[in-house]
Structure 1
Amino acid sequence: MKKTITTLLLVFSVLSTHAQQRWQQLPFNIEVNSGEQDWMPFATYIEADSTMYISGNFTDVNNVPCNVIRVFDNGGYDFMPYNPYHSIRCMAWYHGKLYAGGNGLSYWDGSTWNLIDSSFNTMVANLDSYDGKLLVTGVLDDLTGHNCWKVATWNDTIWEDVHEVNSLLSDCNYDAVNSVALYKDQLYLGGRFYEFRPNGDTLMNMIRFDGTKWTDVGSMYVQYQSEVRCLQVWKDTLYVSGQFTEARGGPGNSIAAWDGNQWSRLGAGLYMEHGVVEDMQVFNDELYACGIFKEVNGFMPPGQTPEDILGYAKWNGQQWCTMGTMSDNIIFRMGSTKNDLYVMGGFTHINNSPMKNIARWIGGNYTDTCSVAQEPTGISTLHEDAYAPQMYPNPSAGKFTLELASRPSSPLKFTMRSLTGSVVFETDIRQSTQIVDAGKQAGGLYFVTLSSADKRYTFKMVIR
């Protein structure tokens, strides 16, 4: 009996140790700029030299002046010479040089850092390539010399607008472009912006250039103060993550898929009230997502308490899986080399084990909970067509016609909300064609939800 107990204890000990070793602390002691808050590490993998670059608003690593760490495919690393010009949020390879963006723009020529420009008011959020030029997004007024520019290209000599998009993003204090993607030969921009055009069109949080003009993307009409944080192309689909929910008109809970024509949901998504999916990363042919959330596909994994921040899950195209990863703070970014996956953020512990700021996944194929989405493909269309509702005229003065393909078997709830989410008008829809009079409402954009027990439709309504 004693031998059996000893064996069981030994097995339990091995399993516990294995569970604790799913993440590995990298040997980096990072010092943050004094007084800085937005210092989270960022990661960029450069195919040209098979290297992942970790950057951020830090000043030294392991007591060595450094603000860029190079991590190689074999797991090794070194520290690049210190960039003295500005903090570094993003990096990209362009014309044989390594560009770095943050509170300015500079490049590494192989031996030294060279400054293009820097300013306290500048914040370069993304660097990419587009049309043979370096695509730069962020707060670019001082950098480009143009007021209120959020998007620009650089060709080593001059700054240029991108298809006149800056004339659309006119709110200098509110508008932000967080992510870019080239999908099906069209340029997509995702971020935080709401623009009401004179012709009644709206551009909200996500737009695309179709070759001739900028347009809204499939009615990405989510609540005011929501935003798109990340765009990721995977398996001929554009995945979009950020801060939005189905309940408030979004195409999913913090994450959704766009096929070029319509939105689809990924099961019940990744949910927490006021939660957000900050970043996505494709690794080993699976889509990983991180941020602040507690429910994965509508469930809390076993062992998770209401206080735990899950913040990390993966999607294989058919199901969501959790990986036994709970942190004490947000997992802000992910990065990968060809062999390893990394997470970065403001955490000091993962699974109650000390793990600060940057960690490497060493858990192999481990998962602790997987749940299949309701549809076999794992992607379901958000808006059903049983009633195919139409509203006209739109814009209107507050009185309009709602037309359905068939008469509802039970009343549909018609709810009209302002940009702040306040309900300004409600009524029941009982006929296939019904005139709705919302009364006198202030001019502007409203969100209309038409719902029953098992169906929901969301529209934009403009009141003049």
Structure 2
Amino acid sequence: MKRFILLLIAIYFSIAAFCQSNYWQGLRSGLDYGVHVFFEDTVENVLYVGGEFTKVDTMQNVFCIAKWDGTNWQKLGSNLNNYVRAIIRHNGYIYVGGDFTIAGNIDANYIARWNGSEWDSVGSGTNGPVWNFQILNNELYAMGSFDSAGSVVVHSLAKWNGDQWSDVFALPKFDTDGINFIFNLAYYNNELYVAGNFFNGTDINDIIKYNGNSWEKVLGGMYGGMGSVNKMLIYQNELYIAGGFHQSEGNIGNNIQRWDGSQWRTVGMGTNTTIYDMKIHKNELYIGGQFSYVDNIPAQRIAKWNGTQWCALKGIFNNAVYSLGFFRDTLYVGCGTTIDGDTINYIAKWIGGNYTDTCGILNNIIIENNQNSEITIYPNPATNILFIQGEKILEISIFNVIGQKMKYLLNYNQNEIEININELKSGIYLITVITSNGNYNEKIFKE
């Protein structure tokens, strides 16, 4: 009988090991509802998680925000009475924005701050939801859908200096019958860019910039009546935007495109449907959303871009990936309830190491270079040694034709590099060189 019981136990653990995804892992028993935002706090060395949940693992009455130390969950006081959509650290506080009006036992209109032991209001807050934060010049910028912050009239964008609210360069109200929906802010090439979902009826659509004197359009803005810019960030010296927009509506890209200061450019062929979040980690751009294809390759709701090529991450999600975060160099996602058929309940972390699934073919890409980067790569074709000459070379990456990174060299800050490529098989490779003046890409042939 004892042997039979031991056999059953062995079978049980064998099945459990078989069912466990090789690429994703849930956090204990997960959450009871979705995640909107991750924030890695390097001060406390914890991951803050905000969303719509009221339960984490077996802990009840955790209303919309909690923190994860890599092993255990912790509550923040008596929490909030509605969703959390934004989290950031600023001047010793954790600031939280969302749909709530109460934090702990105090009135907190859509924004509150946590000092490590209790909640506090941020002035008198805003009169509508806060969806994102950004810090510029030691001031906290809040974005969302509101027309007042404290007693100041604003149009969904305001800044907090620690004592009081103010508007941001008198950002106008674009739709006279409605309200601006501001999701993102970025400072790029000495200009302040704001993006979201807004339209003035003519030529300002979902993105605008402040040039130091006035607000102005970014070319013709975005096209398509139902589109929006969900995320915006700076990657490899270009401004990337992602959301729900398409080439068929007149845009340059499909749900993602990039701005170099004067024109829009594609990011491969983009995705087949909406992108909800973007994050940068170790010089790679990660996206999550509703999509099932990126660059015409299968990508089940998550993928990454290295500046020249898309690669999918392994995993089949039963719902969209709504949020991305990194904690201790590990990717976390806010998603549905299963991955690869395994129950994970709205939150999971990547355990697949450097593995990537399908990648786009490098032979099909157009090599685009920064004209300010004067790089010489020789010989080409090469046999064993490759020489790279240029001003202040910072990083070098070599990819094969299926997108695998074969070599990576970092922080040289030199003008000439000698690379041994003897171990590479014969064939075509793409070499990407990042310098102080920009990026350079070139195809090379290894004999």
Using the size of structure 1 for normalisation, the TM-score is: 0.68
Q: Provide the residue aligned with 2:315 in structure 1.
A: 325
Matched, 1:240 2:206: no
In 2, are the aligned partners of 1:106 and 1:117 still within 8 Å (CA)? no
Aligned equivalent of 1:354, options 339, 343, 350: 343
Distance change in 2, residues 1:28/1:117 (3 Å): farther
Matched, 1:69 2:70: no
AA partner of residue 68 (structure 1): I
Distance change in 2, residues 1:354/1:325 (3 Å): same
Task: State how far apart, in whole Å, the 2-side matches of 1:240 and 1:40 are.
Answer: 21
Runs of 4+ in 1 over 6 A off after TM superposition: 117-120
Q: Provide the residue aligned with 2:400 in structure 1.
A: none
In 1, are the aligned partners of 2:30 and 2:347 still within 8 Å (CA)? no
Structural mapping, 1:48-127, within 5 Å: 48-61=43-56, 62-66=58-62, 67-72=64-69, 77-84=73-80, 86-103=82-99, 104-116=110-122, 122-127=128-133
Distance change in 2, residues 1:110/1:262 (3 Å): same
Q: Provide the residue aligned with 1:387 in structure 2.
A: none
Task: State how far apart, in whole Å, the 2-side matches of 1:378 and 1:278 are.
Answer: 27
In 1, are the aligned partners of 2:291 and 2:301 still within 8 Å (CA)? yes
After TM superposition, give the deviation of residue 63 of structure 1 in Å.
Answer: 2.7
How many residues were matched structurally? 343
AA partner of residue 176 (structure 1): F
**Residue 192 of structure 2: SS of its match in structure 1?**
strand
Structural mapping, 1:41-440, within 5 Å: 41-61=36-56, 62-66=58-62, 67-72=64-69, 77-84=73-80, 86-103=82-99, 104-116=110-122, 122-141=128-147, 143-146=149-152, 149-165=155-171, 167-171=172-176, 173=178, 175-196=180-201, 202-271=203-272, 275-300=273-298, 310-345=300-335, 347-372=336-361, 374-377=364-367
In 1, are the aligned partners of 2:148 and 2:155 still within 8 Å (CA)? no
AA partner of residue 184 (structure 1): N
State the percentage of identical aligned residues: 27
**Residue 64 of structure 1: SS of its match in structure 2?**
coil
In 1, are the aligned partners of 2:147 and 2:179 still within 8 Å (CA)? no
AA partner of residue 256 (structure 1): Q
Distance change in 2, residues 1:171/1:225 (3 Å): farther
AA partner of residue 179 (structure 1): N
**Residue 90 of structure 1: SS of its match in structure 2?**
strand
**Cα deviation per residue 1:103-147 (whole Å; 9 max; x = unaligned)?**
211111122111236789621011111233210111223543456
| Structure 2: gaps of 5 or more residues | 1-13, 100-109, 371-447
Task: State how far apart, in whole Å, the 2-side matches of 1:377 and 1:81 are.
Answer: 53
**Cα deviation per residue 1:225-247 (whole Å; 9 max; x = unaligned)?**
21100012122121110001111
Task: State how far apart, in whole Å, the 1-side matches of 2:332 and 2:285 are.
Answer: 14
**Cα deviation per residue 1:340-364 (whole Å; 9 max; x = unaligned)?**
101103x111122222200000001
In 2, are the aligned partners of 1:150 and 1:169 still within 8 Å (CA)? no
In 2, are the aligned partners of 1:20 and 1:351 still within 8 Å (CA)? yes
**Cα deviation per residue 1:38-59 (whole Å; 9 max; x = unaligned)?**
x543112234444331111323
**Residue 251 of structure 2: SS of its match in structure 1?**
coil
**Residue 122 of structure 2: SS of its match in structure 1?**
strand
In 2, are the aligned partners of 1:139 and 1:148 still within 8 Å (CA)? no
Task: State how far apart, in whole Å, the 1-side matches of 2:177 and 2:185 are.
Answer: 19
Distance change in 2, residues 1:59/1:77 (3 Å): closer
In 2, are the aligned partners of 1:324 and 1:351 still within 8 Å (CA)? no
AA partner of residue 98 (structure 2): G
Q: Provide the residue aligned with 1:427 in structure 2.
A: none
**Cα deviation per residue 1:319-375 (whole Å; 9 max; x = unaligned)?**
111122221111101011232101103x11112222220000000111121113633
Distance change in 2, residues 1:248/1:137 (3 Å): same
**Residue 58 of structure 1: SS of its match in structure 2?**
coil
**Residue 27 of structure 1: SS of its match in structure 2?**
coil
In 1, are the aligned partners of 2:280 and 2:286 still within 8 Å (CA)? yes
